[in-house]
A and B are shown apart, each in its own frame.
Chain A
């Protein structure tokens, strides 16, 4: 066995101004040709560890580093980041934040040029790197014209051009749609096959990554090392501990675990969809799966009251028509996921329904009002809109004022405002933060506050634009639990999202948009089974793929983890003893030191439990 090219021992990192060290005593060894995955709940210090591997911690990020990290025999603590860049290259989460020049070729040349590599070799390296990620033909273009997946492939090419043995990827697919994720992993797979690189991967999307990973290093919530070993055995042997820690696991594995709980013989937990399919083929299929869904389809029964109705909606932006006549009827109490490829018109449709961008008059009706004709006050009472970035919608100086704003707009009595704000703070676990500035909250708290502000005026319809985009899975799950609880209490929820597994697990209905037209709208299981996703250029979520590939058609109707749980009713809230998509309440992760760490967040109950009552506007 070759000597490790990267070796970390007893790494403790304390951000300036922080009390505790995360990570705290973590070790790591990576050899050429190996892929090491760093796993852990948010706040465990995975990204901080990644930044330390190329010396950004402590050289560029104010933090104290203890322990030792050596790359290629060089100690990171005493070597400059620039010098280390010959040995370790980085790929970050946000593709936009890694681009500095005007063309793909200039971009890839940027690193070697900084290292004073001669022109001929710069060009040779750039060509090799761009060819490796499949972008050489587009070298003259502006990076802005690439898709998200394309820009992240470009970032990988830039890392390759540095010719370093180690590449560290910090959540490289968190900002990408499913197509982009597949693109990036196809590139990484080819890269690993060359055997010339050692990869360190921080990633929540294990469904995509697991096929690639050789070893797993798990960090626990306190930043302490928990497990280190071959990927398969670490995940399989410690699955209960990992679930308890709040670590995300491949959905095939969670499905296998469910099957085991349900009494099926599962000798070895599956890790990939293909393994799950193989397992299913060895099992006796259940008699009743899928049958229940068709029974409670209320189409054709008494037509439910409609919350949103859209008639011939056409929206023109600039010179191009984005939506070409959408007709839609959303019943009250539905949880609708709007999906589609980039540019399909998802956000435009949602904004038209919520009145964020006024639709043509008479085309949209939300609970009896036309968003194009009513004032902000009336609109806020009817439909709440949650923007992708919560910070965008904060307009007041404290959390309490932020919540009160919506009620002040409705001219509510001060005592009533006080009461409602108090209740909302409690419901979303923000009571301790009531006088904090909204911008100083942790990421999860900001998201909860933004949902609270959208709801406080009593809006029975909630619209969210990609609320899980760029967030780690844990926060995404927390938000979806909130939404499910609200939905269970009667709120109609509309979500634009890329995350199809979330769709499958939470949404009652799916709306598929394809190039500005509605390709499908029906109950989730019907849409997932219909092939409408594939027709619109979307890949079905991994579980659906695995179930559908099974030999016995009895499995084909299954779409979500909950379907595997004979005891679980669709409406029963998931509990920690029967973990599904919900994870224990978690500590916030601190994005680049902009928030003050508050342990209190970890102890607040997940904001879902108390079933929210419908808020009456005064």
Chain B
């Protein structure tokens, strides 16, 4: 391994666009090609979009969480998000979606509570839960790649395996650096406008006007910054040749292929089980 790789391993991950750190063989997800981690859950995500029951999303959530727990080095914040925020959000979504369902389709199920004329049926809750779990499952499946891949590695993989032109990929990466800068600039603009007395007025109309006022200075600053970055990149021969030297190869290895195929097989099993419906009590009407 090069000296650079040693330094990378030693260092804390300081930014989402820095290189992927290596956390050892157990945390295998970090060592997989980002494209494999995107390709593997894709069929599952498609299945979730069309599925209607509770068992299938639940199964995928469990699989993804186990994968992340074993194969990924998770920060405290990520753990908190996965095991505290996500369940709460799922519960809130389940009830909210339940309130939206057409009560005439589920009025054969037991009533859970009643407010005046409004009856909330168990069936509504089940339908809401199914929808909410589907969303959560899609999210958690995306996090398999999202929590374990770095931006530069994804771009490199896109360039190296999918033959995406590097000019597109690296420009997107450079643009990613704009985000914190814009955030800071927006904060300053808001301060400036508040001091000048633009904050006056409540309600959505005033809010829209206020935000429109932020857009012009933000855009003006953004365009100027982008022009400067472009000149600096041109000066360093960006786009000189159809390809560029790659110091970091992000190969698609056998293990990437194995990961994808195993994941697809598991997906097929889960979907098949869902169609055969071995657990009728987990079905949404």
Interface residue ranges, A against B (CB under 8 Å): 51, 54, 56, 59-61, 80-83, 85-86, 89-90, 92, 94, 96-103, 105-106, 109-119, 122-123, 139-142, 144-145, 158, 162, 351, 354-357, 376-377, 379-380, 385, 387-389, 391-395, 405-406, 409, 439, 453, 591-592, 594
Contact = CB atoms under 8 A, between A and B. Distances in A.
Contact of A80 (B8, B225, B240): B240
Contacts of B15: 102, 142, 144
Contact of B231 (A51, A83, A144): A51
A114 B241 contact: yes
Query: Is the contact region of chain B dominated by helix, strand, or loop, or is it mixed?
Result: helix
A356 B238 CA distance: 42
Given A85-B236, A97-B232, A392-B188, A376 B195 contact: yes
B232 A119 contact: no
Interface stretch (B107-115, B215-223, B259-267, B270-278): B215-223
Contacts of B247: 109, 113, 119, 122-123
A113 B246 contact: yes
Contact of A54 (B151, B197, B233, B235): B235
Interface residues of B, number: 59
Interface string B226-256: 0111111111111111011111000000000
Interface string B71-112: 000000000000000000000000000000000000000000
B148 to A, nearest CB: 17
A141 B192 contact: no
13 contacts: A85-B236, A90-B235, A94-B228, A101-B174, A102-B15, A103-B19, A116-B243, A116-B244, A118-B245, A141-B11, A392-B185, A392-B189, A439-B217
Nearest to A137: B7
A116 B245 contact: yes
Contact of B236 (A114, A394, A409): A114
Nearest to A168: B235
A103 B281 CA distance: 53
Contacts of A101: 17, 152, 173-174
Given A118-B245, A405-B197, A162 B237 contact: yes
B232 A355 contact: no
B18 A158 contact: no
A385 B188 CA distance: 12
B194 A139 contact: no
Nearest to A437: B216
Contact of A56 (B11, B181, B235): B235
Interface of B: 2, 4, 7-8, 10-11, 14-15, 17-19, 151-152, 170, 173-174, 177, 180-181, 185, 188-189, 191-200, 213, 216-217, 220-221, 224-225, 227-241, 243-247
Contacts of B230: 60
B197 to A, nearest CB: 4
B197 A92 contact: no
A83 B240 contact: yes
Given A101-B152, A406-B196, 11 more contacts: A54-B235, A81-B235, A97-B229, A103-B8, A113-B245, A113-B246, A114-B236, A114-B240, A387-B188, A395-B196, A405-B196
Contacts of B10: 140
Nearest to A408: B197
Contacts of A116: 240-241, 243-245
Nearest to A357: B191
B117 to A, nearest CB: 47
Contacts of B185: 392
Contacts of B181: 96
A115 B240 contact: yes
B192 A140 contact: no
B221 A395 contact: no
B235 A89 contact: yes
Contact of A142 (B7, B18, B191, B237): B18
A380 B14 contact: no
Contact of B7 (A114, A139, A406): A139
A590 to B, nearest CB: 13
A97 B192 contact: no
A92 B189 contact: no
Nearest to B233: A100
A149 to B, nearest CB: 18
A51 B254 CA distance: 49
Given A97-B232, A100-B174, A113-B247, A85 B240 contact: yes
Contacts of B216: 394, 439
B10 to A, nearest CB: 7
